């Protein structure tokens, strides 16, 4: 997900809560066997498959209990590596980071679909557009749906069993039409989709787009601006200490700060190589894990949520 445009596009949403099964008197926490006021948290890493450095850090974060969820960018060059790991490690929570953007300076990618079938999604050099604004200006919705389905199908073909869907840079939240496609793809594959309620206010034209069988994230949190390394732990521990009851998701971006990642993120301090190493270090730190325990945070996964939905639907 991203970046300086994330909040702008997420704030284009509003949702009609009463129709949702988890807006009823029995909370998601209770349905999962916890007290209704439990603070549930998903610690989620974005951008998996972006680079070997990201894959290495993600595996380290999973195995060190620094994260409990991640989502894979299927169009990226290092997708096959993490797909093989996900196939062999179904105990971990791997979703798909549906991708319509390639934002970096020199490191670019196109779609999974043949370029001739998705011309509106590609720039003059054959890559996805860098900005969400360009996606909105050029994307043909039919081609968007074709490409998103192709991404899911490629993941399945590689043996990945996705637990949920979310979206890189928030492009699918930018217009009602794109958002509807996002929901549709989730429904096709019977997967929960990431929808953050705390970023969804003030746009009633989208009220009726959400079906009944959907789970909303009450609050999502993400570092959006760079800061001194000395403040990294404090930032995340403060999030943990301020966490509210309900379903929360902390979105992070992990990588090893090495020459590969420095080249990928050149001229991009925000969400850059050092940033991602700082995220990894904090998540694996003793201080962060103590904060989770001391604040009685219950970690859950999208897999658990999907299983609950299937159980409630009799599947």
In tens, the pLDDT along 227-263 reads 999 999 999 999 999 999 999 999 999 999 999 999 9
Angle at 33 between CA 31 and CA 37, to 5 degrees: 80
The DSSP letter of residue 232 is H
Instruction: Give the residue from 19, 15, 13 showing the smallest Cα distance to 207.
Output: 15
* Per-residue pLDDT at 140 exceeds 80: yes
* Per-residue pLDDT at 138 exceeds 80: yes
* Per-residue pLDDT at 21 exceeds 90: no
Rounded CA gap, 71 and 77, in Å? 15
Each residue's pLDDT tens digit, 105-137: 999 999 999 999 999 999 999 999 999 999 999
* Per-residue pLDDT at 9 exceeds 80: no
> Given this model, what pLDDT does residue 199 score?
63
Alpha-helical regions (H) of 40-100: 52-63, 79-88
For the domain with range 6-35+44-312, which CATH number is right: 3.20.20.370, 2.40.50.180, 3.40.50.300, 3.30.413.10? 3.20.20.370
Instruction: Give the residue from 143, 209, 152, 212 showing the smallest Cα distance to 175.
Output: 209
């Amino acid at each position: 997900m991203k970046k300086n445009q994330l909040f702008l596009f997420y704030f284009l949403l509003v949702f009609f809560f009463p129709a949702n099964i988890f807006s009823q008197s029995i909370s998601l926490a209770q349905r999962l066997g916890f007290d209704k006021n439990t603070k549930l948290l998903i610690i989620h890493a974005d951008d998996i498959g972006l680079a070997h450095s990201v894959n290495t850090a993600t595996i380290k974060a999973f195995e060190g209990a620094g994260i409990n969820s991640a989502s894979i960018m299927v169009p990226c060059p290092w997708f096959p590596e993490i797909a093989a790991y996900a196939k062999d490690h179904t105990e971990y929570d791997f979703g798909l980071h549906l991708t319509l953007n390639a934002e970096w300076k020199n490191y670019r990618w196109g779609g999974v679909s043949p370029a001739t079938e998705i011309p509106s999604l590609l720039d003059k050099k054959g890559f996805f557009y860098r900005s969400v604004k360009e996606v909105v200006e050029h994307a043909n919705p039919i081609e968007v749906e074709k490409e998103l389905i192709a991404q899911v199908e490629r993941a399945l073909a590689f043996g990945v069993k996705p637990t949920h869907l979310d979206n890189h840079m928030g492009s699918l939240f930018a217009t009602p039409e794109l958002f509807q496609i996002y929901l549709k793809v989730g429904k096709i594959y019977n997967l929960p989709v990431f929808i953050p309620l705390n970023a969804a206010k003030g746009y009633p034209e989208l009220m009726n787009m959400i079906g009944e069988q959907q789970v909303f994230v009450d609050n999502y949190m993400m570092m959006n601006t760079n800061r001194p390394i000395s403040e990294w732990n404090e930032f995340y521990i403060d999030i943990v200490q301020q966490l509210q009851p309900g379903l929360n998701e902390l979105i992070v971006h992990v990588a090893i700060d090495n020459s590969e990642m420095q080249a990928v993120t050149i001229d991009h301090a925000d969400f850059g190589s050092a940033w991602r190493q700082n995220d990894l270090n904090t998540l694996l730190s003793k201080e962060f894990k103590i904060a989770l325990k001391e604040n009685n945070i219950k970690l859950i996964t999208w897999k658990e949520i999907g299983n609950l939905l299937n159980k409630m639907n009799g599947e």
